[in-house]
Amino acid sequence: MGSISRGRSVWRAVGTVTVLLCLGGAGRAEADPFAYIPNSFFDAGPGPLGNTVSVIDVATNRVVAIVPVGIFPRGVGVNQTRVYVSNFGSGTVSVIDQLTNRVVATVPVPSPKGVAANLQGTRVYVAGGDAVAVIDAATNTVVATVPLPAGWGPFGVAVNSAGTRVYVTNAIANTLSIIDTATNTVVGAKLVGSNPIGVAVNPAGGLVYVANSGSGRVSKIIVATGASITLQAPFVGAQGVAVSRDGSRVFVTKANGTVSVIDATTDIVIDEVVVGSVPRGVSVDNSGRAWVINEDATVSVLSASLPYTVVATIPVDGGSQALGRFLTRPLFKELDPTSHLGVFRDGVWFLDRSGNRRWDGCGADGCVGFGVPGDTPVAGDWTGTARTKIGVVRDRTWLLDLNGNGQWDGCDVDACHDFAPPKRRRGPDVPVVGDWTGTRRAGLGVFRHGVWLLDLNGNGRWDGCDVDACFAFGTSGDVPVVGDWNGTGRAEIGVFRDGVWRLDINGNRQWDGCDVDACFTFGLPGDRPVVGDWDGTGLARIGVLRDGAWYLDLNGNGQWDGCDVDACAGFGLAGDEGAVGSW
């Protein structure tokens, strides 16, 4: 299919003309949402003697069970059915069944601290001794041990949504180790601040945050580039860190009894909230509420938006030094990080909800009627909820499913926008959708004869080039593509022309040639370009749709390596328009 013309082969996913679409998947049996709070100190709380886990019903903010575990429980990790608690004093990990709230297995791990379970429910990673133990969630046995340098002091653990990378803070070495889960080997280490404790990955997998207790700083690592940024606001005694489900907020616990709330777009602290004494662990639920575990045997629950306040204080069995995520699904349920396929045909959307890249019928996959024949499909996160919704453009009018129920409810409930910049010459406008300003809200735009006209202020109407944005990139006949090519969190532009891609890598919205921007060849004339996160790494990979056949650059090297290395899939019919998203 061609080869890359410049050494850039992976990009963060935003999409193509029909960007992302998410209508939710089929239901599945799950335990109700609970918070599992490890009680570490023998004399801190009103309960028996500590060494327990308090189970809180998040709907009522009440403790509904107390589960005995090992000595000095310290870290918590959860998957869909189990809770994993590290017992530092016992050298074990207790496995709790979420439905019965009973310990169903005990796994030996030396001096365990941080715990993280992958979203897929197959592996659990525990920092213990000078290594990370890998537990098979099906058998509750250690199936691999990833050694770290002696004396580094591995502490906190986090795993990305795709389950491909594990991040471990090393409290003594002042580093963050990066583990490839396919090989269970360390593939990198980043220098961070002094005495790093907590670590969290944003839901998209592109950013990692580290709480450095000694230096009182937060390190932010950009996965795509490996760059590390130090957030300079004072985070004295920082220990716990958590990211909201939409990636817009970062919460950091501090030893002075407060929680800092950071705007993830600006990296600026936007609020400080007084909680209990010496807050340690923190997790964020789907509504945006942060749950904070304090050493004074309480749990503070924060409100979901500015101004952030404590809306509930829940007594538990004993003080805690909790690490990791302690809220169960579905209250905290990440978006599926892997992009699935879909097509739009005569007003009907056909969605590969199962992600197996084949059509299994409307029962297993999804059939959604939204639009009429002749409409142009569009999709984006119109409301900033981290859920992509559908829409269509008809005669230059945008009809958007604002409430996300997959049906048209009229302009009073959904949205109608006449985003139609005046024309000076004939020819069709091509709708484009992207987060033009890094606000995590999808904005409208059109591509016309090589000129991009973008709704920069997000009001859904054209206000002229002085308020909105006008610039030239491409020529007539090009197909526009949109993506966060350089990991900035802002959608950048590109064009596809007869199998050749040209991307605005530096984000200045002008073509600077292949030496500065990117040129590569993937596909043939007449193909429809598609962009998606094919393997859940948080990085966009390229592909093309040709008469119902999808050719995806699965390994991300920017060239076609055949169906055995890359991916070939049949989904849709000739003439369908492709859509990519986590259905």
pLDDT of residue 204: 75
Tokens read off for 479: 């197909």
Residue 300 identity: S
- For every residue of 391-445, DSSP letters joined together read EEEETTEEEE-TT-SSS---TTTSEEE---PPPSS----EEEEE-TTSSSS-EEE
Residue 285: CB atoms within 10 A of its CB come to: 20
pLDDT of residue 337: 57
Burial class (CB in 10 A: 0-12, 13-18, 19+), 227: exposed
Burial class (CB in 10 A: 0-12, 13-18, 19+), 277: middle
Asked if 339 and 580 touch (Cβ cutoff 8 Å), the reply is yes
Question: What letter does residue 323 receive in the DSSP assignment?
Answer: B
pLDDT of residue 99: 84
Best CA proximity match to 160, nearest among 194, 205, 209: 205
pLDDT of residue 45: 42
Q: What is the pLDDT along the chain (583 residues), one digit of tens a residue?
A: 443 333 333 333 333 333 333 333 323 333 448 999 999 864 444 444 579 999 999 989 999 999 999 999 999 999 888 999 999 999 999 999 998 899 999 999 999 999 999 987 889 999 999 999 999 999 999 999 999 999 999 999 999 987 889 999 999 999 999 999 999 999 999 999 999 999 999 887 789 999 999 999 999 999 988 999 999 788 999 999 999 987 889 999 999 999 999 999 899 999 999 999 999 999 998 788 999 999 989 999 999 999 999 999 999 987 676 788 998 854 444 445 577 898 999 999 898 877 889 999 988 888 899 999 999 999 888 877 667 788 999 988 999 998 888 889 999 999 999 998 887 666 689 999 988 987 778 899 999 999 999 999 999 999 999 999 999 999 999 999 998 776 666 788 999 999 999 989 888 999 999 999 989 899 999 999 998 778 766 567 888 999 999 999 888 788 899 999 999 999 999 999 998 877 6
Taking the alpha carbons of 37, 41, 47, 48 in that order, is the dihedral positive or negative? Answer: positive
State the Cα–Cα distance between residues 187 and 69, nearest whole angstrom.
34
pLDDT of residue 9: 31
Tokens read off for 364: 């297993």
Residue 499: CB atoms within 10 A of its CB come to: 17
State the Cα–Cα distance between residues 367 and 344, nearest whole angstrom.
10
CA 187 to chain centre: 21
Using alpha carbons only, what angle is made at residue 476 by residues 475 and 481, rounded to the nearest 5 degrees?
Answer: 70
Best CA proximity match to 464, nearest among 431, 425, 420, 494: 420
Asked if 94 and 70 touch (Cβ cutoff 8 Å), the reply is yes
Tokens read off for 282: 């923190």
Question: What letter does residue 373 receive in the DSSP assignment?
Answer: T
Which domains are present in the chain?
A: 12-22+335-575 (2.130.10), 34-315 (2.130.10.10)
